Amino acid sequence: MNRRLLGKSLALALVAGTTMLGAACASEEPETPSGPVTITVNGMPPATDAVNHQNFKDDVKAFEAKYPNIKIDAKEGFMDPQTFATKLAGGQLEDVFYVYLTDPAALIAKRQVQDISAQLADFPSIKDVKPDLMKVFTGSDGKIFGVPVANYSLGLVYNRTLFTKAGLDPASPPKTWEEVREAAKKIAALGNGTVGYGDYSKNNTGGWHFTAEMYSVGGDVAVKEGDTWRAAFNNDKGKQVLQQLKDMRWTDNTMGQRQLLEWADLLQMMASGKLGMYIGSADNFPVIVNQYKAKYEDFGLGGIPGGQGTLGGGDGYMFKAGLSPEKIKAGLTWLSFKGGALDPDRIAADNEKAAAKGQPVGLPQPNIWTGASLAKWEEATKKHANIPSENFGPFLATATTIPLKLEPPLAQQIYAVLDTAMQKVLTDQNADIAKLLADAEKQVNQILSTVK
């Protein structure tokens, strides 16, 4: 699954005011600019999304009433890397624009974004944002060029009901890949078409999960040496990942006969009560429950097995190069009002609003906070939770100990190559793992040679 598409969905929810992060609060109220300032921002839902589009416009109206010296010129859509250079050259780039967490490094290196370090001093809660997330927006010189607003990371999605039936403890999901393999055997032994563990291998999702599983055992898919990138998976860790899947598929027969699965397939299988475990994230659960008519009570989320690293991502906002201090301050004030890394004091109010609208409150992500702000998030989540948040406790227990790692450059192209390796080990009992990795390495190195 292209996580960038999921990022857009998450951002739409954010700007619509339905996430747990929210608007400004008096405790950290920034000073209103002394004179009129107009800023352009993107992230407004399209007019075809009538409800969220109107909610966004209502937020703009409320913001301008609260801050009469700041005017918001809102634009539909998000930052598109394919059109960014054209918008920049044509003077059409918004002052404050949406990015995925994979975008900031290149924008900072090309000096296409503005340092906002000085203005962030007026938003002290920024110190409580997870360091891994702030690092994404920080240049090599320590200057900060943007702020995160939402995050996700991968863990182990599992069916608590099947765990109980199989004699496993639903409060203690597997922490290692060896434990995953043993748990999958017990779940598959329940019979009636029950699959112990599922994995992807189609439409780039196989390469995506191979990357996540490499990170989980301490490996990499691509590494940068000087100014160049090279493939980094044709090694013992790459063989470990594929051998584990091959053994579970063919020796243990715990992954089921149906393969060539893509994103929606595992969610449907989990909702049907016929799948024990797969690698996924917290944003899977609303889809499983709402679209496929399951119940939150039946599921849990643990840390990713192996625990050496987890693939993650998310969203944030940056400021175009050359922006004045007044516009930067206005932009940060807007982001504080809309939600993000600037004001945790609105989390409770947003949770209350979300619960009233039937939105799930109690998922472990997005959660960008540490320290005192994390305590506010936890208190507000407990107070307004309308789903069994304790089911995600095993994931939260690892949230500060498992390092977050982002996607490799040109990720989708790399994932397409790695799909083949995943497909072969899951559909061919005689698949040659060493050859699969060597072939993929050559192709990925060709892709990485184009990274500038």
Residue where a domain stops, chosen among 392, 414, 436: 392
Which residue from 287, 279, 274 is spatially nearest to 161, judged by alpha carbons? 274
**Tens digits of per-residue pLDDT, 207-218?**
999 999 999 999
Write down the pLDDT at residue 396.
94
Instruction: Indicate whether 398 belongs to any domain.
Output: no
For residue 448, the Cα-to-chain-centroid distance in whole angstroms is 23
Residue where a domain stops, chosen among 344, 365, 392: 392
Domain assignment of residue 273, given as a range: 155-310+405-448
Mark whether 28 and 177 lie in a shared domain: no
Mark whether 59 and 162 lie in a shared domain: no
Mark whether 442 and 300 lie in a shared domain: yes
Mark whether 320 and 201 lie in a shared domain: no
Who has greater pLDDT, 18 or 132? 132
Instruction: Indicate whether 200 belongs to any domain.
Output: yes
Which residue from 184, 106, 116 is spatially nearest to 144, judged by alpha carbons? 116
Mark whether 305 and 327 lie in a shared domain: no
Helix or strand holding residue 52 (H, E): helix 50-66
Mark whether 333 and 284 lie in a shared domain: no
Average pLDDT of 240-262? 98
For residue 451, the Cα-to-chain-centroid distance in whole angstroms is 23
Burial class (CB in 10 A: 0-12, 13-18, 19+), 192: exposed
Mark whether 338 and 251 lie in a shared domain: no
Instruction: Indicate whether 116 belongs to any domain.
Output: yes
**Tens digits of per-residue pLDDT, 281-330?**
999 999 999 999 999 999 999 999 999 999 999 999 999 999 999 999 99
**Tens digits of per-residue pLDDT, 399-412?**
889 999 999 999 99
Mark whether 280 and 378 lie in a shared domain: no
Count of helix runs (H) and strand runs (E) in the chain: 18, 12
Write down the pLDDT at residue 92.
86
Mark whether 185 and 260 lie in a shared domain: yes
Instruction: Indicate whether 37 belongs to any domain.
Output: yes
Q: What CATH number is given to the structural domain containing 243? A: 3.40.190.10
* Number of domains within the chain: 2
Mark whether 168 and 112 lie in a shared domain: no
Instruction: Indicate whether 400 belongs to any domain.
Output: no
Helix or strand holding residue 73 (H, E): strand 70-76
Instruction: Indicate whether 173 belongs to any domain.
Output: yes
Band of residue 349 on the pLDDT scale cut at 50, 70, 90 = confident
Instruction: Indicate whether 397 belongs to any domain.
Output: no
Instruction: Indicate whether 216 belongs to any domain.
Output: yes
Residue where a domain stops, chosen among 344, 361, 392: 392
Q: Tokens for 218?
A: 């301490």
Rg (CA), the chain: 22
Mark whether 305 and 334 lie in a shared domain: no
Mark whether 93 and 132 lie in a shared domain: yes
- Output the pTM of the full model: 0.87
Phi-psi group of 256: left, alpha or beta (phi > 0 → left; psi -120 to 50 → alpha; rest → beta): left
**Tens digits of per-residue pLDDT, 23-59?**
333 334 545 556 799 999 999 999 998 878 888 999 8
Omega cis (within 30) before 366: yes
